[in-house]
């Protein structure tokens, strides 16, 4: 979990379908950037994980605006973390009556925003 101070607003996305490594490669690119810059980057990235990440980022900014009275134009992404969630276990039929296990991965996304200094 992210270490947050009192001036950071936090939002979580839980049980998001997708692998942790694929979500982390997007979070690594937006960490430390301003809110507007991160939104523009997420809009033009070719990855499927940008949808849920954008949703969590907008939620964190809405929390900062509503609960703490901060201006969205001055917000910076203080931390962006993806942790592994539970795997959904599915099976595919294979030759000679065997079953092949498939793990459909999930992840938890946490984003904290803070005012720029």
Model confidence pLDDT, tens digit, residues 9-34: 999 999 999 999 999 999 999 999 99
Fold of 9-115: Ribosomal Protein L22; Chain A (3.90.470)
Model confidence pLDDT, tens digit, residues 27-56: 999 999 999 999 999 999 999 999 999 999
Q: Are strands 99-104 and 106-115 parallel, antiparallel or unpaired?
A: unpaired
- Taking the complete model, does pTM exceed 0.85, yes or no? yes
Model confidence pLDDT, tens digit, residues 94-105: 999 999 999 999
Distances in Å between the Cα of 26 and the Cα atoms of 31, 39, 83 are 9, 12, 14
* Long-range own/partner contacts, residues 53-58 (CB < 8 A, 24 or more apart): 53/13, 53/23, 53/26, 53/27, 53/80, 53/109, 53/111, 55/13, 56/11, 56/12, 56/13, 56/109, 56/110, 56/111, 57/11, 57/30, 57/111, 57/113
CA distance linking residue 83 with residue 106, whole number of Å:
9
């Amino acid at each position: 979990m992210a270490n947050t101070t009192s001036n950071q607003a936090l939002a979580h996305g839980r049980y998001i379908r997708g692998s942790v490594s694929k979500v982390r490669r997007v979070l690594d690119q937006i960490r430390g950037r301003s809110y507007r810059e991160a939104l523009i980057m997420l809009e033009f990235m070719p990855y499927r994980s940008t949808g849920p990440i954008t949703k969590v980022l907008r939620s964190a900014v809405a929390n900062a605006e509503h609960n703490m009275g901060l201006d969205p134009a001055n917000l910076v992404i203080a931390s962006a973390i993806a942790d592994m969630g539970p795997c959904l276990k599915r099976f595919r039929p294979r030759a000679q009556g065997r079953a092949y296990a498939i793990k459909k991965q999930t992840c938890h996304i946490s984003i904290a925003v803070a005012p720029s200094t």
